[in-house]
Amino acid sequence: MIVIEIALLTIILALGLYASISDFIIGLIKNRVLFVAIALGIIFDFCYYTFYCQDLFRSFIINFAILFVVAIVLFLTHIWAGGDSKLLITIGILYPARLYYIFDPIPYPLLLIIAFSFILGYLYLLADTLVCLFNKRAPVSWKSVGQRLGKYIMQYAFTMIYVVATTLIYEYFIQPIFSLNNILMTVLLIAFALAVNSIKILKNRGLIIATLVFDVIMSIITRIIPVSTNWKTYVFILIATILRMVMSNYNYKEIPVKGIRRGMILSIPSSIVLIQSREEGMPEISSEDLQSRLSEGEADIIRAWGLKNPGRQTLIIVRKIPFA
């Protein structure tokens, strides 16, 4: 049993190292590598749950099913790329169920992978922003921050409406059935708060108003004020929102046209410039999310356009968080 667990963890480590390097260098994770890892995982899992840990098979299925559903949702909402979601599913297959209980009493420890991915992705952007500041490549425009202060106050309020709703649903409907570890709940709420602005459907005005009404009614019925029960989490979210204000100027990167590659995401102004060229095969106006990642063909057309237009040497791309 120990040998199988070591083998599975070794595959996870090797896959993690490969995926991290590949995601940084080319922004992609090759399917064939994931398929090999999945095939090995299925073979080891068969032996593991057939001969040694039959009693943990149900726990494995539940955790994997939850992870699978979340991975699909992250992909369909364009928060994560397909490679990131497939990597998450692969890790769910490889992770030995006996090690779930290292995190006891957390019932679904694999969710921590997702939560920490968002938090570490946020910290990556913060660190990159600090590097830009120290190198004086792009000083903070406090005037710009001040001008957009109202927008960010609204953004914080928008985020809090959904975070409060999530807290109320948990405390009133879920907690009576089973209680999550406080640390896990805090991590999940923070990760959700960081991700909520990337979920387009949550920006629907009708849904926002309905959620706000739900928050007010549930707070009156339950006599629960979420901010008072978990105030440290909300303070952290406030700090994160303020930092996001400063970091917003660093979400973009100017690169040479000849450096455009498959998987990159154009900024809206750059995509408009390309469309105005009326070159056949150019990408549509960018939505600045993963839905607008360039294909190999589009990247080739843009580079060819750059050769024919020497006056335009650079384009602006959106920086991608290497979630892998």
Residues 150 and 94 in one domain: no
> How high is the pLDDT of residue 230?
65
- What are residue 264's phi and psi, to 5 degrees? -75, 160
Please confirm whether the linkage preceding 96 is cis (ω < 30° from 0): no
> How high is the pLDDT of residue 14?
94
Q: Where are the alpha helices (DSSP H) in the chain?
A: 2-25, 31-47, 57-76, 82-94, 111-134, 142-147, 149-169, 182-195, 205-222, 226-229, 231-247, 268-276, 296-308
- HSE toward the beta carbon, residue 145, CA cutoff 13 A: 14
Predicted confidence band of residue 56 (pLDDT cuts 50, 70, 90): confident
Task: Check whether 301 has a pLDDT greater than 60.
Answer: yes
Residues 244 and 261 in one domain: no
pLDDT digits (tens, 9 = 90+) for 137-196: 555 555 555 556 676 778 778 888 898 898 888 888 887 877 766 766 777 777 777 677
Predicted confidence band of residue 7 (pLDDT cuts 50, 70, 90): very high
Q: Is the pTM of this model over 0.75?
A: no
Choose between 221 and 151: higher pLDDT.
221
Full domain range(s) for residue 288? 252-318
Q: Which of 250, 255, 249 is nearest to 312 (CA)?
A: 255
> How high is the pLDDT of residue 262?
83
Sign of CA dihedral 293, 77, 88, 251: positive
Residues 216 and 242 in one domain: yes
Residues 152 and 199 in one domain: yes
Can you tell me the distance from the alpha carbon of 174 to that of 159, in angstroms, rounded to the nearest whole number? 21
Distances (CA, A) of 152 to 134, 147, 163: 25, 10, 16
Residues 79 and 124 in one domain: no
> How high is the pLDDT of residue 254?
79
Task: Check whether 59 has a pLDDT greater than 80.
Answer: yes
> How high is the pLDDT of residue 264?
82
Domain boundary among 75, 104, 133: 104
Residues 150 and 269 in one domain: no
Task: Check whether 80 has a pLDDT greater than 60.
Answer: yes
Domain-located, residue 109? no
Average pLDDT (243-271) is 75
Residues 55 and 43 in one domain: yes
Residues 33 and 100 in one domain: yes
Domain-located, residue 110? no
> How high is the pLDDT of residue 298?
86
Predicted confidence band of residue 136 (pLDDT cuts 50, 70, 90): low
Domain-located, residue 301? yes
Q: Which of 132, 236, 150, 251 is nearest to 194 (CA)?
A: 236
Q: Which of 183, 180, 172, 162 is nearest to 233 (CA)?
A: 183
As for how many domains the chain has, the answer is 3
Domain-located, residue 136? yes
Helix (H) or strand (E) holding 317, with range, is strand 314-318
Please give the angle made by the CA atoms of 294, 29 and 49, to the nearest 5 degrees: 140
Residue type, 270: S
Residues 235 and 284 in one domain: no
DSSP letter, residue 202: G
Can you tell me the distance from the alpha carbon of 75 to that of 81, in angstroms, rounded to the nearest whole number? 6
Residues 81 and 138 in one domain: no
3-class secondary structure, 205: helix
- End-to-end CA distance of the chain, in Å? 28
Can you tell me the distance from the alpha carbon of 98 to that of 57, in angstroms, rounded to the nearest whole number? 10
> How high is the pLDDT of residue 106?
59
